[in-house]
Amino acid sequence: NNKIIYLSSPPTEQNIFLKTTNVPVTMKITATTAITSFLILGAATTIPTIDAFAPTFLTRISQHAPSTSSTSSTCLLMALDSSMKERLDGIRRSYLALTERLADPDVIGNSNLLMQVMKDRSQSEEVVQAFDEYTQFETELVGAKELFQEAGDDNEMREMARSEIKDIDAKLEELEERIKILLLPKDPNDDRNCMLEIRAGTGGSEANIFAGDLLDVYRKYMTDQGWQVTMIDSSPGDDGGYKNVVLEVKGDSVYSKLKWEAGVHRVQRVPATETQGRVHTSTATVAIMPECDEVDIKIDPKDIEMSTMRSGGAGGQNVNKVETAVDLVHKPTGIRIKCTQERSQLKNKELAMKMLMAKLYDIENEKREAEERARRGDQIGTGGRSEKIRTYNWKDSRVSEHRLGQNYPLQSFLSGEIGQIIDGLIAKDQEMKLRQLSEEGAN
Amino acid sequence: IQQLSNQCLSKDERDAYISLLERRMQHEPLQYIIGKWDFHFLTGLKIKKPMLCPRPETEELVELVLAEVGNLLRDWKEKRKMRILDVGCGTGAIGIAIANKYPAAVQVVALDVLPEAVDLSNENAEQFLSRYSAHGDSKLGVKSIYEAMLCSATHFTNNTTNTSRDLSKKKYKMNFDIVVSNPPYIPLKDMIDLSSDVVEYESYEALCGGVDGLNVIRDIVHRLPEWTFSSSLRAKHCWMEVDESHPRHLARWLSPGSVEARRCGVEYVESYTDFCGRDRFVKLRVS
């Protein structure tokens, strides 16, 4: 039922208006020069008359497509409009400028500057390459359409040209999708390292053991990813597992992947401590805090009350106790951090401050995200702290990811293969952002 | 740690462990039993009795001195390295921690009256600082960054020679830019209150500073002008960790403009508290 109409006599942009008569139309502008094509969805009983349309109309995307499935890419078909192309041109220009800078001897001599330039450049590399491919295909399409035109009555030629046009169209579509995703606003914290905290929730010993199980799973995943993991603080549970455990995770794109783990995890199983074989439900809360430095969070030393094992009684040379634990209270927020990890008290102090900064930064992020979530309605967020994100059911051997509405095999999860779930969440987030963008565009 | 907890010990390992436990039951300091501990950013500093086990407060002393070193380096116009004197170095903790942060900019000379302390300090310096001396003054090795010597505060003059084998007849320039010390400072009357893990194992000389605890501190003050003698107008400071009772005594004794301050050539500048809120550190200036 979908038709593609080609205008044989190329009109200029200025003198075409498209009158739609209740026909779902998605316009696809493939070349700003010769030929414009219109993809008409659904059964069109009347072919819309084509008079002229102004450039502004060209950039508007009308999405009246019957939505059979929300993921159907033809329904979300948005061409790269001229403002987007301008933006891409700008990105390409800066990319080339940065590439030139890499050859600058001043830059080469300064290793910090060199790393910064390389980092900035690599961030745009993917989208520039995709855009280059895109413009190349656009040129090829022009050629193919010219061929089609010149074919005249030669059916064989027309068929060849037509199938080539179809191929290129498909490739252009794919590239458009990719470019759009690459242009989506990125979470500024995505590239950061982070702290992962697992806290046992309701369920007593069983919750502690479950927290320990989650820790094992995450550890396996982190090793697979090649990330560096350091345990910062832990309070073991009496019967196993942990009441609370904090890890520092360093590596590539750590936050962008782990952020999806934040929230309340629920487990349904017969606990190891259960004598009568009843199934219990317990919870553990995972918090993911992007690492931050003094640029992100300023802490007034006056707001901090620090106590150590040496407070009270004599100190200095008079006492030799090796308890170097540091206890930190941030008075304005009441956040309390205990750090016992290091043998050097100074190092414990620094670690505790690091944790405090991460927590404060996390609170700010959470506030900001909550505001955005409220504004956007039902968007899949990186989870309010108390959002129940997953349920693990031992009897049915299944993990239910509630944000995706999907189940996964429990065994793969327990072996540390959580990549599948994370990829699904990332994909869904991108899809929602794309939809958001198109809705905003239509308004 | 989980893996370790599941291991079974062999008989030898068990016996060794039990003898260590027995030592601890006698209140021997943990640092002596294990033989090392962390101080500042020095992981695994070797510690041997009877040298004083570095305390957490002393990490703050290091931080104070490092702040001054950082400030001085910003306007550093001398062609030579910055020279720092650590009096009563013990394990070497203070001087090595400072050199560890600025190995290219700083040269530390350290003194102690115990030969074991001098040896231990040089040993620790080798462990932590030799990685920095690979290039440049390779003939001297670590000694170009850190050198400990057997000498008391009073006897350290420009005529002092190092009597150790490899550096015999070496003399020391008395143009130090910063003097730092964690001298024995416990007043005699407080020595009785010390717990057994301190007083039975750590060296008496490293702890007691005489009746008022100020004996060694006085020795240092009297030597300060000679140690920091130079034509530069830059202020020379002495940083010390002291007993809680000392800052006000020193403030009175070396009050700027007072007769004593002029006689000694040293003025009290200010004191700093440690993280427990106790008056713990003093800053003096050679006037």
Among all residues of chain B, which has the CA nearest to that of A236?
B2
pLDDT at B281: 96
Per-residue DSSP letter, A260: G
Contacts of B196 in chain A (CB under 8 A): none
Q: Give the 3-state secondary structure of residue B74.
A: helix
Contacts of A352 in chain B (CB under 8 A): none
Residue B171 pLDDT class (50, 70, 90 cuts): confident
The encoded tokens of residue A321 equal 């106790």
Nearest to B55 among A312, A317, A349 (CB): A317
**Quick one: average pLDDT of B204-221?**
93
Give chain B's radius of gyration (CA, Å): 20
Per-residue DSSP letter, B157: S
The encoded tokens of residue A275 equal 């004598």
Contacts of B29 in chain A (CB under 8 A): 320, 322
Per-residue DSSP letter, A37: E
Lowest-pLDDT choice from A37-46, A242-251, B152-161, B175-184 = A37-46
The encoded tokens of residue A134 equal 């895109």
> Are A342 and B202 inside 8 Å of each other by CB?
no
SS percent in chain B: helix, strand, coil, step 5: 40, 20, 40
Burial class (CB in 10 A: 0-12, 13-18, 19+), A196: buried
Amino acid at B106: V
Q: Is A313 on the interface with B (CB under 8 A)?
A: no
Lowest-pLDDT choice from A209-213, B52-56, B64-68, B137-141 = B137-141
pLDDT at A20: 40
Angle between helices A155-183 and A111-151 (to 10 degrees): 150
Contacts of A203 (CB under 8 A, 6+ apart): A210, A271, A280, A281, A282, A283
Q: What's the half-sphere exposure (Cβ side, CA atoms, 13 Å) at B261?
A: 17
The encoded tokens of residue A7 equal 């205008």
pLDDT at B139: 57
Residue B116 in contact with residue B150, Cβ under 8 Å? no
Residue A356 in contact with residue A337, Cβ under 8 Å? yes
Contacts of A317 in chain B (CB under 8 A): 52, 55, 182, 184-186, 198, 206-207, 241, 243
Q: List the pLDDT tens digit at each of the 443 positions of chain A.
A: 444 444 433 444 333 334 444 444 444 444 333 334 444 444 333 444 333 332 332 333 333 333 333 333 333 344 667 777 888 888 889 889 888 888 888 888 777 788 888 878 887 888 888 888 888 988 888 888 888 888 777 888 888 888 888 888 888 888 888 888 888 877 777 888 888 999 999 888 999 999 999 999 999 999 999 999 988 888 888 888 999 998 989 998 899 999 999 999 999 999 887 888 899 999 999 988 888 776 677 778 788 888 887 766 778 888 887 778 888 888 888 888 888 777 888 888 888 888 888 888 888 877 877 777 676 655 454 455 678 899 999 999 999 999 889 999 999 999 999 999 999 998 888 888 877 777 766 65
**Among the listed residues A216, A266, A208, the one whose alpha carbon sits nearest the alpha carbon of residue A240:** A208
Contacts of B40 in chain A (CB under 8 A): 344, 346
Q: Give the 3-state secondary structure of residue B285.
A: strand
Contacts of B161 (CB under 8 A, 6+ apart): B168, B169, B170, B171
Nearest to B55 among A306, A312, A316 (CB): A316
> Are A343 and B38 inside 8 Å of each other by CB?
yes
The encoded tokens of residue B85 equal 């004197």
> Are B29 and A320 inside 8 Å of each other by CB?
yes
pLDDT at A71: 36
> Are A320 and B193 inside 8 Å of each other by CB?
no
For residue B50, say if its preceding peptide bond is cis, omega within 30 degrees of 0. yes
pLDDT at A199: 92
Q: Is A301 on the interface with B (CB under 8 A)?
A: no
How far away is chain B from the Cα of A316, in angstroms, using its nearest Cα? Answer: 6
> Are B59 and A311 inside 8 Å of each other by CB?
no
Amino acid at B204: Y
Instruction: With a cut of 90, say whether residue B180 has pLDDT above it.
Output: yes
Q: Which of B198, B275, B279 to mutate to probe the A interface, most A CBs <10 Å?
A: B275
Contacts of A343 in chain B (CB under 8 A): 37-38
Nearest to A342 among B38, B185, B198 (CB): B38
ipTM of the complex: 0.81
pLDDT at B287: 83
**Among the listed residues B175, B205, B200, B165, the one whose alpha carbon sits nearest the alpha carbon of residue B188:** B205
The encoded tokens of residue B112 equal 């102690």
pLDDT at A56: 30
Residue A122 in contact with residue A128, Cβ under 8 Å? no
- Strands B106-112, B146-150: parallel, antiparallel or unpaired by DSSP? parallel
How far away is chain A from the Cα of B276, in angstroms, using its nearest Cα? Answer: 5
A67 vs B190: which has the higher pLDDT: B190
How far away is chain A from the Cα of B211, in angstroms, using its nearest Cα? Answer: 15
Among all residues of chain B, which has the CA nearest to that of A322?
B30
Q: Is A311 on the interface with B (CB under 8 A)?
A: yes
**Among the listed residues A272, A252, A267, A253, the one whose alpha carbon sits nearest the alpha carbon of residue A217:** A267
Q: Which of B5, B36, B37, B38 to mutate to probe the A interface, most A CBs <10 Å?
A: B38
What is the pTM for the complete model shown? 0.66
How far away is chain A from the Cα of B261, in angstroms, using its nearest Cα? Answer: 27
Q: How far is CA A189 from CA A96, A112, A296, A356, in A?
A: 26, 21, 11, 17
**Quick one: average pLDDT of B148-153?**
92
pLDDT (tens digit per residue) in A207-234: 999 999 999 999 999 999 999 998 888 8
Largest CA distance in chain B: 70
Interface of A with B in 316-345 (CB under 8 A): 316-320, 322, 324, 342-345
How far away is chain B from the Cα of A345, in angstroms, using its nearest Cα? Answer: 6
pLDDT at A10: 41
Distance of CA A133 to the CA centre of its chain: 24
pLDDT (tens digit per residue) in B61-90: 999 999 999 999 998 988 899 999 999 999
Residue whose token pair is 């992981």: B43
Instruction: With a cut of 90, say whether residue B215 has pLDDT above it.
Output: yes
Angle between helices A82-101 and A155-183 (to 10 degrees): 70
Contacts of B206 in chain A (CB under 8 A): 317
Q: Which of B31, B37, B57 to mutate to probe the A interface, most A CBs <10 Å?
A: B57
Among all residues of chain A, which has the CA nearest to that of B198?
A320
pLDDT at B152: 92
**Among the listed residues B34, B46, B226, the one whose alpha carbon sits nearest the alpha carbon of residue B122:** B46
Beta-bridged to residue A266, according to DSSP, are A283, A391
- Strands A3-6, A16-18: parallel, antiparallel or unpaired by DSSP? unpaired
Nearest to A308 among B38, B39, B275 (CB): B275
Element (H, E) at A388: strand A388-393
> Are B190 and A318 inside 8 Å of each other by CB?
yes
pLDDT at A392: 95
Buried b / exposed e along A94-126 (16+ C-beta atoms within 10 A): ebeebeebeeeeebeeeeeebeebeeebeebee
> Are A345 and B56 inside 8 Å of each other by CB?
yes
Beta-bridged to residue A308, according to DSSP, are A326
Chain B positions contacting chain A at CB under 8 Å are: 29-31, 37-43, 52-53, 55-57, 59-60, 63, 182, 184-186, 190, 193-195, 197-198, 202, 206-207, 241, 243-244, 274-276, 278, 280
pLDDT (tens digit per residue) in A304-360: 888 887 766 778 888 887 778 888 888 888 888 888 777 888 888 888 888 888 888
Among all residues of chain B, which has the CA nearest to that of A326?
B275
> Are A308 and B56 inside 8 Å of each other by CB?
yes
Cα–Cα distance measured from residue B99 to residue B178, given in angstroms and rounded to the nearest whole number? 13
pLDDT at B178: 96
> Are B39 and A347 inside 8 Å of each other by CB?
no
How far away is chain B from the Cα of A239, in angstroms, using its nearest Cα? Answer: 14
pLDDT at A377: 59
pLDDT at B148: 94
